Amino acid sequence: MSNDSTLNQVSVLIVGAGPAGLSAAITLKKADPNVEVVVVDKAAGPGNHNLSGAVLEPGALHKLLDSAVPDWQESDQAKKVLVSKVEKDEVLFLPGKNLSFNIISMIKMAAKMKLGFGQMVHHGDYICSIAQLTSWLSDIAKGMGVEVVHGFAVEDIHYDAATGKATGVKLIDQGLDKHGEKQCNYVAGETIEADIIVIAEGCDGLLAEKFIDKAGLKRQAKQLYSVGVKEMIRVSDEQYAKFGDGHVVHAMGYPIWTPVIGPGMFGGGIMYAMGENRIAVGMIVGLDWHPCDFNPQDALTQFKGHAFVKQFIEGGEVIEAGAKMIPEGGFYAIPRDPATNAVGKSNVLLLGDSAGFVNMCKIKGLHNAIESGIAAGNAICQTLNNTSGTAEQYTTLLTEAGVFAEMETAKNFRQTVAKFGPLQGMPLSVLGKWLPQFDIESDWQELTTARYRLKPSVKFDKDTFTAVAATEHREEEPCHLIIQDETICVEKCLSKFGAPCITFCPAGVYEKIQDQPKAANPSNCLHCKTCQRKCPFDNIRWTVPEGAGGPRYKTM
Ligand code: SF4
Ligand code: SF4
């Protein structure tokens, strides 16, 4: 397959070379080496668009690799990717800038009592970089005969409502100028026809949302999102030795909510030991935040300035950075076919973050992404001769793998916090399955004129952040960030909220040009999609840029 061809036909097409999509490809090849599997991905190279904490529960990875790759744990790549096992697991409550309390014993007690919070125990899990994990899985898949191609951006799915099946996907046109005119290097986006289409493009993917809409899939509740901003910091020998390998910290409270100051945002900070004197430091904040001048990077700055964090990273060098959304809505927000309850429809399957398989009580979704890939690979193998039933078989295997059962244990956690805020919602969520399903708003509806009370005195340096994310797009291509109605920006948003997209976009894409908010720097975009879900007038659409654009994460 190449950019020059006009039509391609493949048996199984997987959109998205992340852990879910690659796990599906590996499982398929393991079950049937002759099946034709093609994985397309919009990133320039393996793992380039993958960012996570990450702490990985090992069970799913063993299930995927134990019978496919003999002695995989002994390979140099595995040792490099799976940095270490969690040996020191801390959950901190930060009531203020200088105070911290380790509440892991409370979490362990909750685990014994089988309360939702108890799932937040990470001892024995792997600390890893999802970008490196993805790159490694890509090598394994290629070694088994899977064709993994990068730089292919998919913009639409051909779905036939009459048959209820999809016939293929359409790649984006390449070589248009800023005004949409064809340049000399113009190549029309080809259609790739496929018998089975697996959508595994990550959180809030363009293709997934188009498919959900076209095929009439429904969610029981609106999807909720958070955004994570993360830095990889190289620290001194002394600081790293003090922090220690195998050490993970999850912190809640300061600087996004405290009993005294509010302001009541859901989320928290993370610190993971990444080996080679590197500590990953991040801040994850639910997009249902209220203050209109809030930027998650400001919260990251304050977190880094907290006495507990500062001792380990002060003077360190930020060597990589990035941002990504997480689907947090959980069990209620899984899109399903109303007729069959399948997570997909006939020959189209939704995997990993595209389906929203994140367990917010664990703060993890990577294991479920891999499980969904395994279920998809097996379901496809079992239904190659009758692809109308693939999505249902996939859903049956997901059930057998325990994915839904796990998601159900956390189904009321994030919803309750969204409804009542972290101070009331988190204690209330202990009631777990006895709670009703609450009616919640979309994240963008939650923005108010409130102000973030802990703004750092120094403006966050988004230019450096974007530079170390190594993001780039062709400068001449059409802007992929569409402000649908620019009059809303001026007439409604500026005076009331002060154009929050300018503040919260982690890459400084939005600017005011002659008093008109514009997506002025689209080439800086990190593909986090925050703007699409947090513009208070739901006025931004993220469309896919040309293939190979975006960040080039290596160790995120
Ligand atoms: Fe406001 Fe959205 Fe316009 Fe930005 S794009 S100024 S957030 S309405
Ligand atoms: Fe994220 Fe939107 Fe900014 Fe791109 S423009 S980095 S998708 S908030």
The CATH number for 154's domain is: 3.50.50.60
DSSP H or E run through 260: none
Tell me what the mean pLDDT of segment 373-377 comes to.
Answer: 98
Q: Which of 283, 306, 326 is the last residue of a domain?
A: 326
For residue 444, being part of any structural domain is answered with no
62, 137: one domain = yes
60, 174: one domain = yes
pLDDT of residue 117: 77
| CATH, residue 235 | 3.30.9.90
The answer, yes or no, to whether residue 431 has pLDDT greater than 90, is no
For residue 262, being part of any structural domain is answered with yes
Ligand 2 neighbour 534 (Cβ under 6 A):
no
Torsion of CA 470, 474, 476, 478, to 10 degrees: -100
| CATH, residue 525 | 3.30.70.20
Ligand 2 neighbour 481 (Cβ under 6 A):
yes
The answer, yes or no, to whether residue 180 has pLDDT greater than 80, is yes
The answer, yes or no, to whether residue 304 has pLDDT greater than 50, is yes
Tell me what the mean pLDDT of segment 415-430 comes to.
Answer: 89
Ligand 2 neighbour 417 (Cβ under 6 A):
no
pLDDT of residue 424: 87
Tell me what the mean pLDDT of segment 149-172 comes to.
Answer: 97
DSSP H or E run through 131: helix 130-143
- What is the CA(539)–ligand 1 centre distance, in A? 6
Q: Which of 326, 360, 388 is the last residue of a domain?
A: 326
- Listed in sequence order, the residues at least 6 apart from 181 whose beta carbon sits closer than 8 Å to its beta carbon are none
Ligand 2 atom with minimal separation from the 504 CA: 8
Ligand in nearest proximity to the CA of 484: 1
pLDDT tens digits, 515-527 = 999 999 999 999 9
For residue 495, being part of any structural domain is answered with yes
DSSP H or E run through 324: strand 317-327
- What is the CA(21)–ligand 1 centre distance, in A? 34
Per-residue pLDDT band for 540 (boundaries 50, 70, 90) equals: very high
296, 183: one domain = no
Per-residue pLDDT band for 115 (boundaries 50, 70, 90) equals: confident
For residue 431, being part of any structural domain is answered with no
- Least Cα distance to 239 among 201, 277, 186, 283 occurs for 277
348, 402: one domain = yes
Q: In this predicted model, which residue has the larger pLDDT, 6 or 227?
A: 227
What's the structural domain count of the chain?
3
96, 236: one domain = yes
The answer, yes or no, to whether residue 31 has pLDDT greater than 90, is yes
Phi/psi for 322 (5° steps) reads: 180, 180
Ligand 2 neighbour 530 (Cβ under 6 A):
yes
318, 352: one domain = no
Residues of the chain with pLDDT > 70, as a percent, come to 98
Tell me what the mean pLDDT of segment 301-311 comes to.
Answer: 98
- pTM here is 0.97
- Least Cα distance to 555 among 12, 212, 51, 9 occurs for 51
What is the extent of the structural domain holding 488?
A: 462-542
For residue 441, being part of any structural domain is answered with no
- Least Cα distance to 199 among 390, 377, 21 occurs for 21
Residues of the chain with pLDDT > 90, as a percent, come to 92
pLDDT of residue 542: 98
pLDDT tens digits, 470-480 = 999 999 999 99
91, 171: one domain = no
495, 526: one domain = yes
pLDDT of residue 6: 40
- What is the CA(230)–ligand 1 centre distance, in A? 24
Ligand 2 neighbour 506 (Cβ under 6 A):
yes
pLDDT tens digits, 254-270 = 999 877 666 689 999 99
Average pLDDT for the chain: 95
pLDDT of residue 2: 41
- Classify 155 as helix, strand or coil: strand
Burial class (CB in 10 A: 0-12, 13-18, 19+), 67: exposed
Q: Whose CA is nearest to atom 4 of ligand 2?
A: 525
Tell me what the mean pLDDT of segment 452-476 comes to.
Answer: 96
Tell me what the mean pLDDT of segment 11-39 comes to.
Answer: 97
The answer, yes or no, to whether residue 363 has pLDDT greater than 50, is yes
58, 173: one domain = yes
Please give all residues whose beta carbon lies within 6 A of any atom in ligand 1, as ranges. Answer: 483, 488-489, 493, 499-501, 510, 517, 535-537, 539-540
For residue 437, being part of any structural domain is answered with no
396, 341: one domain = yes
Tell me what the mean pLDDT of segment 341-367 comes to.
Answer: 97
Q: Which of 269, 303, 326 is the last residue of a domain?
A: 326
Tell me what the mean pLDDT of segment 288-299 comes to.
Answer: 97
Per-residue pLDDT band for 4 (boundaries 50, 70, 90) equals: very low
- Listed in sequence order, the residues at least 6 apart from 514 whose beta carbon sits closer than 8 Å to its beta carbon are none
The answer, yes or no, to whether residue 5 has pLDDT greater than 60, is no
- What is the CA(463)–ligand 1 centre distance, in A? 21
Ligand in nearest proximity to the CA of 488: 1
Q: Whose CA is nearest to atom 8 of ligand 1?
A: 489
pLDDT of residue 24: 98
pLDDT of residue 261: 62
For residue 445, being part of any structural domain is answered with no
Plot region of 501 (φ>0 → left; ψ -120 to 50 → alpha; else → beta)? alpha
Ligand 2, residues 295, 527, 531: which to mutate, most atoms within 8 A of Cβ? 531
Per-residue pLDDT band for 7 (boundaries 50, 70, 90) equals: very low
The answer, yes or no, to whether residue 86 has pLDDT greater than 70, is yes
CB atoms within 10 A of CB 400: 12
Ligand 1 atom with minimal separation from the 492 CA: 8
Plot region of 114 (φ>0 → left; ψ -120 to 50 → alpha; else → beta)? left
474, 352: one domain = no
For residue 434, being part of any structural domain is answered with no
190, 284: one domain = no
pLDDT of residue 427: 85
